[in-house]
Chain A
């Protein structure tokens, strides 16, 4: 470098630019790219009916079993994410008339280390739903027939039947969407201003029983910016909806339950069994997981899409014990996770098993309050269960 270059470099190094990254732009672009990525993968899958990568991966039997497990979990994501999530106030009219709705859902879990899960949601009248996690795990639900399909990209798919959930009286994936349409036109309280992604917003608060909804609107334009959900009975399990758009053009193929070409079915159609969705099934599944990995630890979480990814990651890392996973029972897993998915908000369930080894003495890993009971049921790391009052619960 000569003297001129050095002087120029010195001068230029002192220049000020408006070049600080705006996370809002970065995140929006990220979503666009992931949507394009998913479309490309989908097209590739359609084009390659039997691609070599899939064949290679699936030669590993343990991986295949783990994939089957991930498929089960992914299928449940649509249920868990839709329980009590959707509501906003000022845009009630838009919601009532909307034929399609897309948004990004951010869930802040109180499980494990309080992981945040980001999922793209797409809803289309009269009752179609598609969820896509940031890692590309897809769940599609037909709310009319109760049929569903879950897909792990590049690996496989499985079909399922959610009629059991609808008949059980538990919240269906669409119940909250319907509830949202019944929101009052007028909010209970107008909140102060807050900046969200660089936009100055005004908040409107609506309380409906356990659920508090805060709708944030652009203070200048009145456009919807964000919706926050907080549950009185489940502190820490907040949900945020962003990038909300109404009446965007959503092709029917996005909600098709036609198995993707090139992907293989992973196990039989999943059907829930209400009688088996109980604490004992859940305990059995916890035991299966903890004895099925080389670290002897419980799963990182018991709900949400991230557990599907964790399952796949552990399989890729060779952490699964083939002798245990050879005996995996998809039906049992489905029912175990449905047991958690169907626990109501006021059960105040908590999971604290992330990283805990099985049989660690005196360590509680899960607790919940059964419907109609004042006592909590607490599951310990040795998989014994005790009843106790709320004040005795682990902190």
Chain B
């Protein structure tokens, strides 16, 4: 993915330099990245209000150092992901959100132990299983899995976000997947999961 493919916006000549002095260019830069960062937060937290709060925190934090940021737009995007990752991890550690979310994603199963029969119920059940499994990972592992599978970032890009090497990311990803596999049993057709 190159810069011009981000959020489907056309490439803008030297947008970072322009955005530092031109509020219009700054606004366009913000709009190009808002959706991706919000979605990442929502995919990590499964909850809109908190995801919006963290998204605000990310951009306001970015604003504090924007004038001294020295990089291209791709690096800027990775920088936003890095701020978001740190903010989300911090949020998960500081609050009881982790257990609250676990309860929330699992509510459907615990409230009704009767096996689901309809396709919709099955799909809902599968989703709850995956969400719960994701939340059983360490926040750092969950970040890597989310960036890889939901945001479609390459391992090299994830490495830049989390400040490590691509090979380390691949190892961490491999370990995280192994953990997920312990919680999720994936059938060969990829349709059924259990915990």
A residues at B contact (CB < 8 Å): 4-5, 7-19, 21-22, 25-26, 29-30, 32-34, 36-38, 40-41, 44, 53, 134-136, 153-154, 309
> With A19-B43, A21-B38, A34-B26 as given contacts, are A154 and B21 in contact (CB-CB < 8 Å)?
yes
A11–B42 Cα distance when bound, in Å, is 18
Q: Are A34 and B181 in contact (CB under 8 A)?
A: no
| Given A9-B149, A135-B24: A32 touches B56 (CB 8 Å cut-off) | yes
Tell me if B27 is interfacial: C-beta within 8 Å of chain A: yes
Given contacts A4-B177, A135-B24, are A36 and B127 in contact (CB under 8 A)? Answer: no
Query: Does B48 have its Cβ within 8 Å of any Cβ on chain A?
Result: yes
Let me know if B22 and A19 touch, CB within 8 A: no
In the assembled complex, the Cα of A64 lies from the Cα of B60 at a distance in Å of 34
A16→B186 contact, CB < 8 A: no
Chain A proximity of B127: nearest CB distance (Å):
5
Q: A-facing mask of B142-156, CB < 8 A → 1, else 0?
A: 000000011000000
CB–CB A11/B130 < 8 A:
yes
The 8 Å CB contact of B43, one of A7, A17, A30, A44, is A17
Please tell me if B39 contacts chain A, counting CB pairs below 8 Å. Answer: yes
Residues of A within 8 A of B34 (CB): 21, 26, 29-30
Give the distance in Å from the alpha carbon of A135 to the alpha carbon of B23 in the complex: 5
Is there contact, CB below 8 Å, between A134 and B23?
A: yes
A136 (CB) vs chain B CBs: closest residue:
B23
Question: Which residues of chain A come closer than 8 Å to B67, judged between CB atoms?
Answer: 40, 44
Measured in the bound complex, the distance between the Cα atoms of B56 and A77 in whole Å is 30
Q: Are A37 and B63 in contact (CB under 8 A)?
A: yes
B180 at the interface (CB under 8 A from A): yes
Residue positions of B touching A, CB distance < 8 A: 21-24, 26-27, 30-31, 34-35, 38-39, 42-43, 46-48, 51-52, 55-56, 59-60, 63, 66-67, 123, 126-127, 130-131, 149-150, 173, 177, 180-181, 184, 186, 190, 193
Given contact pairs A5-B177, A13-B149, a sample of 9 additional A-B residue pairs in the complex whose CB atoms are under 8 Å apart: A4-B177, A8-B177, A8-B180, A18-B46, A30-B27, A30-B34, A134-B27, A135-B23, A153-B23
Name the distance in Å between B66's Cβ and chain A's nearest Cβ.
8
A136 vs B48: C-alpha distance when bound (angstroms): 31
CB atoms of A135 and B22 under 8 A apart: yes
Q: Are A8 and B149 in contact (CB under 8 A)?
A: yes
Shortest C-beta distance, B153 to chain A (Å), equals 13
Instruction: Among B22, B23, B126, point to the contact of A11 (Cβ < 8 A).
Output: B126
Q: Which residue of B lies closest to A26 (CB)?
A: B34
What is the CA–CA distance of A37 and B62 in the complex, to the nearest angstrom? 11
CB distance A18 to B42 under 8 Å? Answer: yes
Instruction: List A contacts of B43 (CB < 8 A).
Output: 17, 19
In the complex, are the beta carbons of A33 and B60 less than 8 A apart?
Answer: yes
- Beyond A18-B42, A26-B34, whether A4 also contacts B181 by CB under 8 A is yes
Contact in complex: B190, A11 (CB < 8 Å): yes
Q: Are A34 and B177 in contact (CB under 8 A)?
A: no
Q: B190's contact among A7, A15, A18, A134, by CB below 8 Å, is which?
A: A7
For this complex, 19 residue pairs linking A to B, each with C-beta atoms less than 8 Å apart, are: A5-B177, A7-B186, A8-B177, A9-B149, A11-B186, A14-B123, A18-B48, A19-B39, A19-B51, A29-B59, A32-B60, A33-B26, A33-B59, A34-B27, A36-B63, A41-B21, A134-B27, A153-B21, A154-B21
Contact partners of B130 in chain A: CB under 8 A = 11-12, 15
Q: Contacts of B186 on A, CB cut-off 8 Å?
A: 4, 7-8, 11
Complex interface: chain A residues within 8 A of B27 (CB): 30, 34, 134
Contact for B23 among A5, A17, A37, CB less than 8 A = A37
CA distance A135 to B22 in the complex (A): 7
Across the A-B interface, the 8 shortest Cβ-Cβ residue pairs: A19-B42, A136-B23, A135-B24, A12-B149, A7-B186, A10-B190, A19-B39, A36-B63
Nearest opposing residue in chain A for B58, CB measure? A29
With contacts A8-B149, A10-B190, A15-B130 known, is A33 near B39, CB below 8 A? no
Could you say which residues of chain A place their CB within 8 Å of the CB of B26? 33-34, 37
Q: Kindly list chain B residues whose C-beta atoms are within 8 Å of the C-beta of A154.
A: 21
Q: Which residue of B has the minimal Cβ distance to A6? A: B190
Q: A10-B190, A135-B22 are in contact. Are A29 and B42 (CB under 8 A)?
A: no
Structural contact, B177 and A17, CB atoms closer than 8 A = no
A36 to B62, CA, bound (A): 11
Once the chains are docked, how many angstroms separate the CA of A9 from the CA of B147? 11
Q: What is the bound-complex CA distance between A19 and B150, given in angstroms?
A: 12
Cα distance A7–B150 in the bound complex, in angstroms: 13
User: For residue A18, which residue of chain B has the nearest CB?
Assistant: B48
Closest CB-CB distance, B9 to chain A, in whole Å?
14
Could you tell me if B48 and A53 are in contact, using CB atoms closer than 8 angstroms? no
Q: How far is the CB of B114 from chain A (nearest CB, A)?
A: 22
Complex contacts, B126 vs chain A, CB 8 Å:
11, 14
Which B residues lie within 8 Å of A136 (CB)? 22-24
List chain B residues, Cβ under 8 A from A10.
Answer: 190
State the CA gap A101–B67 with chains docked (Å). 30
Complex-state Cα separation, A19 to B146, whole angstroms:
14
Closest Cβ of chain A to B178, distance in Å, is 8
Residues of A within 8 A of B21 (CB): 41, 53, 153-154
